[in-house]
């Protein structure tokens, strides 16, 4: 099975993200707006119980922290991905690192740039057009993160939550 670890922002921020994703993100109907903490990895149902126990421990050791969205940005020209840029704070990086250590280690194609995708798989022209508009929008937003989620993917490519981990509940 395919698993991944994400943060879901507040309903408010998810609604904002979805107002763009509906038009510009081909994954709109597969998963709610999210910040990926750990890219997709393969695990069996037996392995995942051990991994979940590990994630539970990491959550207990991590205190809730503030998440700041600063602006709309893009991974172009590498990738025509438009996203809400999330400030790279020590707490977030530390959580990311813990999710890639020990038995959670995995090869990572990208370095960690915390973001919430709002547009992807756009043609160059469409990307340029949409991004030139969206980068002018004020999306500044602050909220508290107090949980993250282990997800798994179904055959139809949609994602279901396996377990929620609340921060600092040790």
* Catalytic residue positions, numbered: 34, 115
Q: Does residue 98 touch its own copies according to CB under 8 A?
A: no
Of the candidate residues 90, 111, 123, 156, the single one contacting its own copies (CB under 8 A): 156
Of the candidate residues 26, 63, 93, 160, the single one contacting its own copies (CB under 8 A): 160
Report the C-alpha dihedral over residues 147, 63, 13, 83, rounded to 10 degrees. -100
Least CB distance to its own copies at residue 21 (A): 9
Considering only CA atoms, which of 52, 66, 74, 60 is closest in space to residue 152?
52
Specify the residue, 56 or 128, whose C-beta has the smaller distance to its own copies.
56
Q: Does residue 1 touch its own copies according to CB under 8 A?
A: yes
DSSP characters over the chain:
-EEEEEE---HHHHHHHHHHHHHHBTTTTTS-S-EEEEEEEE--HHHHHHHHHHHHHHHHHS--EEEEEEEEEE-TTT---EEEEE---HHHHHHHHHTTSGGG----SS----EEEEEBS--HHHHHHHHHHHTTS---EEEEE-EEEEEEE-TTS-EEEEEEEETT--
Which region among 61-69, 72-80, 119-127, 150-158 touches its own copies (by CB under 8 A)?
Answer: 150-158
Specify the residue, 96 or 165, whose C-beta has the smaller distance to its own copies.
165
For residues 12 to 51, the per-residue mask of contacts with its own copies, x marking binding by CB under 8 A and - elsewhere, is --xx--x---x------x--x-------------------
Contacts with its own copies, residue ranges (CB under 8 A): 1, 8, 11, 14-15, 18, 22, 29, 32, 147, 149, 152, 154-156, 158, 160-164, 166
């Amino acid at each position: 099975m395919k698993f991944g670890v994400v943060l879901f922002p507040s309903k408010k921020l998810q609604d904002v993200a979805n107002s763009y994703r509906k038009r510009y993100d081909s994954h709109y109907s597969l998963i709610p707006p999210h910040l990926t903490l750990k890219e997709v990895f393969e695990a069996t149902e037996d392995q995942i119980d051990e991994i979940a126990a590990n994630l539970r421990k990491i959550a207990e050791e991590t205190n809730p922290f503030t998440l700041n969205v600063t602006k709309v940005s893009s991974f172009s020209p590498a990738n025509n991905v438009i996203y809400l840029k999330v400030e790279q704070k020590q707490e977030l990086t530390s959580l990311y690192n813990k999710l890639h250590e020990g038995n959670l280690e995995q090869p990572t194609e990208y370095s960690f740039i915390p973001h919430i995708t709002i547009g992807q798989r756009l043609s160059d022209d469409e990307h340029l057009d949409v991004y030139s508009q969206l980068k002018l929008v004020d999306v500044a937003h602050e909220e508290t993160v107090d949980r993250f989620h282990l997800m798994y993917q179904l055959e139809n490519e949609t994602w279901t939550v396996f377990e929620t981990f609340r921060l600092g509940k040790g």
